[in-house]
């Protein structure tokens, strides 16, 4: 994983609650055996019209949302399945951070392992971002803050280990492999 | 030592290294279930790094998600939904060969939906930690195991190290006391629970279902309940093992034998939350309050008694959901015309579910214009159902009797509904497009689903079956 220290971008807003992983990447695209190339199917059934054109109703298709790397979404984003294809698709689509007032556990875990910032904010702060699409935000992973154009900063919680891994591009599998002797000892004790 | 929950006990027993403020704990995984969809990238990672599978005997593989449920043709070619789907199956076969993992593949009599197969084989046991790249892994919690879904990166972690990096989740007790009314089952119960705590109500928590109504459930019913824990946002949900659990597991192929069985059973009987154990959250539900329950929106927290009126939208989110469903708030849901009925999935594809549907269909017919699919959860269940003549009941009624697999629960294997069609489904998710682009899903029990198939519209089973009797 590449280190992720900050994300600066205008926001695009998906004001809907409970955006599930089937919305993010429909199951019929999960037959791939690769990680790459899922971006063109991100939000597939919402983003495209039946004839394959861009759906003007999909907020991320609007001109002002183009190129936005930060999505602010309604409560309980990423609920549903464990498919890691969801963060893979979002990253490949150009999204580097998702902000909500609640993010589903497995999606959040998967996102952070891939360098997609999945950030939970307090209700009032989240509401302010939902109501003000298009503002420029600066997310600072080290400081665990989101800075608004007026200079105010919203703090967010991020597990210390997840922060360390993001900042340094730490490979968590390497961390586990380094614990091999302890795992051996556990297995001998448990046997 | 202070009183502990069953969740604390299983967690502590599996810590290779305790968590600190700076690092998560290292949790040992007893059983790793895998399938074709969420593993190819994990095996590629192992190969790229020159790693092996640490404990192949703790990994059990099946084919279920991308697999067609119609039989192979005369040349042995199976009707895969796409070349990619077939390739995914081939890759799992090759990966299991290369890394020495047991695969219950096309030729196996033990193949089934991953969460049906594990318990059936007795691979799922009380007190275990169990993971799978699938959010419905909580199903195995029915046996008093701590079982949860993981992503593909974590699948790679478990393959390589048999461990996961985890922070301890919070605990949430769901007490269900009293008795379920006749005709009300596990599916009605769990839909009701999700409605009470909300679709994100369990986020960050592991649920323990407890109380007299839970203790009275059969193992199949407990699996249905635990299966849908994730639909309330909880990665895991479990039920303490008891005599029902032990009787169900006795004699299964992968359980301990002889004196080892007696020791294991004694250990399992003792595995429960201590009196006075504290949970981070608790909720109490009276089983007598629950009737036949269905969903009416686009997430599993939008539930209602089938005899009631569809709740009016309280906000823009619910308005959008009702518009997608083409339902009007304040109107009854009974009478809504049904296009497809699906009985199957890791939630409701076990023998008792099939019997429940067959009891409605016996001597009746699927209504004109309705397509009904009945898909057993495993090869073994299919055979058992056929031995009882259930297949004949279904086909005589005009339903399709298929081979085991995830089928229409997840629109990726060819079994899908068409845009706009209304599906009454015994599966677990009513998300937009889950059963095919534009398809509308109403989640229900096998009984409610079968009655809808016969009557051609959503119907209160109590009224319908009473009048028909």
pLDDT interval class at B469 (50, 70, 90)? low
Q: Are residues B13 and B141 in the same domain?
A: yes
Q: Do B298 and B275 sit in the same domain of this protein?
A: no
Last residue of a domain, which of B122, B139, B166? B166
Q: Which residues of B touch A81 (CB under 8 A)?
A: 134-135, 149
Boundaries of every domain in chain A: 6-190
Residue ranges of chain A whose pLDDT lies below 50: none
Q: Same domain for B116 and B226?
A: no
Other CB atoms within 10 Å distance of the CB of residue B185: 27
Q: Do B11 and B91 fall into the same domain?
A: yes
Residue B177 lies in a domain: yes
Query: What SS3 class is residue A19?
Result: coil
* Cα distance between residue B312 and residue B440, in whole Å: 18
Query: Does B309 lie in the same domain as B450?
Result: yes
Note whether A18 contacts B317, CB cutoff 8 Å: yes
**DSSP 3-state assignment of B209?**
strand
What pLDDT digit, counting tens, does each position of B363-407 carry? 999 999 999 999 999 999 999 999 999 999 999 999 999 999 999
Q: Where are the alpha helices (DSSP H) in B121-253?
A: 152-161, 186-197, 212-215, 219-227, 243-249
Q: How far apart are CA B43 and CA B221, in angstroms?
A: 34
B310: in domain:
yes
Q: Looking at chain B, which residue has its C-alpha nearest residue A162?
A: B23
Same domain for B124 and B92: yes
Question: How many domains is chain B built from?
Answer: 3
Q: CA–CA separation, A20 vs A22, rounded Å?
A: 5
Q: Which of B40, B82, B161 sits opposite A33 (nearest CB)?
A: B40
Tell me the pLDDT tens digit for each residue of B25-75.
999 999 999 999 999 999 999 999 999 999 999 999 999 999 999 999 999
Same domain, B346 and B211: no
Q: Which of B254, B277, B279 is nearest to B264 (CA)?
A: B254
Contact list in A for residue B135 (CB cut-off 8 A) is 80-82, 106
Spatial separation of the C-alpha atoms in residues B42 and B99, rounded to whole Å: 12
On whether residue B308 sits in a domain, the answer given is yes
B389 inside 8 A of chain A by CB:
no
Q: Is the minimum CB–CB distance between B204 and chain A shorter than 8 Å?
A: yes
**Is residue B22 domain-shared with residue B81, that is, in the same domain?**
yes
Give me the DSSP letters along B299-353: STT-EEETTSBPPPP-SHHHHHHHHHHT--TTSBSTT-B-SEEEE-TTTS-SHHH
CA distance linking residue A191 with residue B381, whole number of Å: 33
Mutate to test the interface with A, among B68, B152, B439 (most CBs of A within 10 A): B152
The answer to whether B37 faces chain A, any CB pair under 8 Å, is yes
Sort A15 into a burial class: Cβ within 10 Å, 0-12 / 13-18 / 19+. middle
- Between the CA of residue A2 and those of A82, A113, B191, B469, what are the distances in Å? 23, 10, 42, 66
Which CATH number is B201's domain given? 3.40.1060.10
Examine residue B258 and state whether it is found in any structural domain, yes or no: no
Which tens digits make up the pLDDT trace of B306-354?
999 999 999 999 999 999 999 999 999 999 999 999 999 999 999 999 9
Architecture of domain A6-190: Alpha-Beta Barrel (3.20)
On chain B, the residues whose CB falls within 8 A of the CB of A35 are: 41
State whether B311 and B452 are in the same domain.
Answer: yes
Q: Are residues B204 and B310 located together in one domain of the fold?
A: no
Distance from CA of B16 to the nearest CA of A (A): 6
pLDDT digits (tens, 9 = 90+) for A92-134: 999 999 999 999 999 999 999 999 999 999 999 999 999 999 9
Burial B314-337 (b: 16+ CB within 10 A, else e): eeebbebbbeebebeeeeebbebe
What CATH number did the domain enclosing B29 receive? 3.30.499.10
Task: Give the end of a domain, one of B258, B289, B320.
Answer: B289
Q: Which of B138, B166, B194 is the last residue of a domain?
A: B166
Residue A84 contacts residue A117 (beta carbons within 8 Å): no
Is position B252 within any domain?
Answer: no
Distance of CA B358 to the CA centre of its chain: 20
* Same-domain pairing of B161 and B180: no
Structure tokens at A168: 């340094």
Query: Taking the CA atoms of chain A, what radius of gyration do you get in angstroms?
Result: 18
Decide: helix, strand or coil at residue B400.
strand
Element (H, E) at A6: strand A6-14
- Check whether residue B117 and residue B179 sit in a common domain: no
Residue B462 is assigned to a structural domain of this protein: yes
Tell me the nearest-neighbour CA distance from A102 into chain B, angstroms: 8
Q: Is residue B256 assigned to a domain?
A: no
pLDDT of residue A171: 87
Residues from chain A that touch B134, judged by Cβ atoms under 8 A, are 81-82
Domain that holds residue B64: 6-166
Q: How many CA atoms lie within 13 A of B176 on its CB side?
A: 27
């Amino acid at each position: 994983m590449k280190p992720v220290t900050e994300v600066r971008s205008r926001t695009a807003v998906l004001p809907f609650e409970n955006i599930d992983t089937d919305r993010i990447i429909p199951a019929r695209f999960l037959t791939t055996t690769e990680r790459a190339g899922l971006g063109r199917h991100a939000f597939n059934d919402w983003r495209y019209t039946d004839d394959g054109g861009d759906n003007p109703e999909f907020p991320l298709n609007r001109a002002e949302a183009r190129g936005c790397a930060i999505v602010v979404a309604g409560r309980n984003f990423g609920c549903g399945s464990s498919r890691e294809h969801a963060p893979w698709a979002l990253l490949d689509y150009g999204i580097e951070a998702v902000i909500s007032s609640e993010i589903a556990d497995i999606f959040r875990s998967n996102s952070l392992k891939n360098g997609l910032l999945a950030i939970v904010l307090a209700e009032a702060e989240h509401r302010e971002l939902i109501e003000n699409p298009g503002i420029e935000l600066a997310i600072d992973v080290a400081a665990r803050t989101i800075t608004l154009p007026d200079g105010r900063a919203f703090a967010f919680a991020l597990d210390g280990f997840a922060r360390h891994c993001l900042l340094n591009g730490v490979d968590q599998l390497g961390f586990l492999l380094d614990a091999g002797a302890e795992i051996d000892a556990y297995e001998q004790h448990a046997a | 030592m202070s009183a502990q929950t069953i969740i604390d006990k299983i967690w502590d027993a599996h810590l290779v290294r305790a968590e600190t403020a700076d690092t998560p704990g290292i949790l040992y995984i007893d059983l790793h279930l895998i399938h074709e969809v969420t593993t190819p990238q994990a095996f590629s990672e192992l190969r790229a790094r020159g790693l092996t599978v640490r404990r192949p005997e703790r990994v059990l593989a099946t084919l279920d998600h991308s697999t067609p449920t119609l039989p192979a043709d005369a040349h042995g070619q199976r009707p895969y939904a796409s070349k990619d789907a077939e390739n995914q199956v081939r890759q799992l076969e090759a990966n299991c060969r290369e890394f020495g993992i047991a695969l219950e593949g096309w030729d196996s009599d033990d193949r089934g939906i991953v969460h049906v197969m594990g318990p059936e084989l007795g691979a799922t046991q009380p007190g275990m930690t169990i993971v799978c790249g699938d959010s419905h892994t909580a199903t195995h919690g029915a046996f008093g195991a701590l079982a949860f879904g993981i992503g593909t990166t974590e699948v790679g972690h478990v393959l390589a190290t048999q461990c996961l990096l985890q922070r301890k989740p919070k605990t949430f007790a769901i007490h269900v006391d009293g008795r379920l009314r006749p005709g009300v089952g596990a599916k009605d119960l769990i839909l009701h629970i999700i409605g009470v705590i909300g679709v994100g109500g369990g986020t960050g928590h592991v649920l323990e279902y407890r109380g007299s109504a839970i203790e009275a459930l059969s193992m199949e019913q407990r699996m249905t309940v635990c299966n849908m824990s994730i639909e309330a946002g909880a990665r895991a949900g479990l039920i303490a093992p008891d005599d029902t659990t032990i009787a169900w597991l006795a004699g299964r192929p992968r359980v301990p034998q002889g004196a080892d069985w007696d020791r294991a059973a004694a250990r399992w009987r003792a595995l429960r939350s201590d009196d006075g154990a504290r949970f981070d959250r608790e909720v109490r539900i009276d089983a007598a309050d629950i009737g036949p329950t269905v969903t009416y929106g686009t997430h599993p927290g939008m539930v209602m008694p089938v005899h009631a009126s569809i709740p009016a939208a309280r906000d823009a989110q619910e308005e959008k959901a009702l518009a997608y469903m083409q339902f009007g708030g304040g109107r009854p849901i009974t009478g809504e015309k049904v296009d497809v009925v699906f009985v199957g999935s890791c939630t409701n594809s076990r023998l008792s579910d099939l019997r429940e549907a067959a009891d409605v269909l016996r001597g009746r017919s699927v209504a004109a214009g309705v397509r009904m699919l009945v898909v057993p959860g495993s090869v073994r269940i299919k055979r058992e159902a056929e031995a009882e003549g259930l297949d004949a009941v279904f086909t005589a009624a005009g339903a399709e009797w298929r081979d085991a697999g995830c089928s229409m629960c997840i629109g990726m294997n060819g079994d899908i509904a068409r845009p706009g069609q209304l599906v009454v489904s015994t599966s677990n998710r009513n998300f937009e497009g889950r059963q095919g682009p534009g398809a509308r899903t109403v989640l229900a029990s096998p009984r409610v689903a079968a009655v809808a198939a016969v009557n051609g519209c959503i119907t209160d089973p109590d009224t319908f079956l009473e009048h028909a009797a």
